[in-house]
Amino acid sequence: MARLANKVVIVTGGARGLGGGAVDALCAEGAKVVIADVLDKAGEARAAQQIAAGHSAHYVHLDVREADGWAALIDDTLYRWGRIDCLVNNAGINIPIDIEEATVDQFRAILDVNLIGAFLGTKAVLPALRRSGGGSIINVASNSTQMVLPTTSLYGASKAALANLTKTTAVHCALRGDKIRVNSIHPGAHLTEMLENPQVQAMPQVRALVNAIPMGRMGLPAEFGKLVTFLASDDASYMTAAELFTDGGLTVVSFADPSRA
């Protein structure tokens, strides 16, 4: 039997990239998946692809910054499938910029999606998870919570705050006796659609990044998806408030191996 049979999962930013990998992996494990995104064409196409493969998927337009949109999404999902078991707060944006160049509007824009979006989603979904008898919230942070560059100023701060919000939510739920687990995933560099272009892969900064990864390659959306299915499943039944790094070993190395440069 598929690990997530009859489980209903919402994935924000599920139209493409890592969220798309999560959607594909969750469907393969038997979950009914709601793809929530602002990229309507890509989201519809991904849902159609899963349905054609015999899985249950549905696309809903959601801007994670809007509380009303979240309320409508939860209502729509409960009406359609009767329960919700898991929320993957994956939608995220990045503005690589150092602190002196960055504007407060850019900082607010990043916080609005990466932090407030997950906050709104968590608040909206908790009552539904409780009614299902428990569930899992998975917040997609980044290895930039530990590994910083001058240009991760805004992005890293948003993801570090998200990791902390994950833990307080996890403890809140556990102490209430809710069977709701809340964890964060911290991806390192992954080969999503935007990096698949050979010209982008040949760029010196991209090559240098790959060379710095102990495993010598970027992660794949499908690998990220498997981690999401694990945290969504009962296999992770004793795991809450955890930070899972999926980064090929990058975050813990202090120096790139010069022989591989």
Ligand X SMILES: NC(=O)c1ccc[n+]([C@@H]2O[C@H](COP(=O)([O-])OP(=O)(O)OC[C@H]3O[C@@H](n4cnc5c(N)ncnc54)[C@H](O)[C@@H]3O)[C@@H](O)[C@H]2O)c1
| Residues 116, 114: Cα–Cα separation, whole Å | 6
Nearer Cβ to ligand X (59/81): 59
Q: Which amino acids are annotated catalytic?
A: 155
The interface with ligand X within residues 85-104 (CB under 6 A) comprises 90-94
Q: Does 187 bind ligand X (CB under 6 A)?
A: yes
Near ligand X by CB under 6 A, which window of 1-9, 70-78, 171-179, 190-198?
A: 190-198
Give the residue ranges of DSSP H helices in 100-189: 104-111, 117-131, 153-176
Total of chain residues touching ligand X, rule CB under 6 A: 27
Q: Does 142 bind ligand X (CB under 6 A)?
A: yes
Q: How far is the CB of 116 from ligand X (least distance, A)?
A: 10
DSSP 14-33: TTSHHHHHHHHHHHHTT-EE
Dmax (CA) for the chain in angstroms is 58
> Exactly one of 60, 62, 116, 210 binds ligand X (CB under 6 A); which one?
62
User: If DSSP codes are grouped into helix, strand and coil, which group holds residue 54?
Assistant: coil
Q: Does 39 bind ligand X (CB under 6 A)?
A: yes
Q: Does 121 bind ligand X (CB under 6 A)?
A: no
Q: How far is the CB of 238 from ligand X (least distance, A)?
A: 25
Near ligand X by CB under 6 A, which window of 2-10, 12-20, 122-130, 227-235?
A: 12-20
Q: Residues of 25-62 as b/e, b for ≥16 C-beta within 10 angstroms? A: bbbbbbbbbbbbbbbeebbbebbeebeeeebbbbbbeb
Cα angle vertex 37, ends 152, 219, to 5°?
Answer: 50
Residues that bind ligand X in the complex, under the rule CB under 6 A: 12-13, 15-19, 37-39, 62-65, 90-94, 113, 140, 142, 187, 189-190, 192, 194
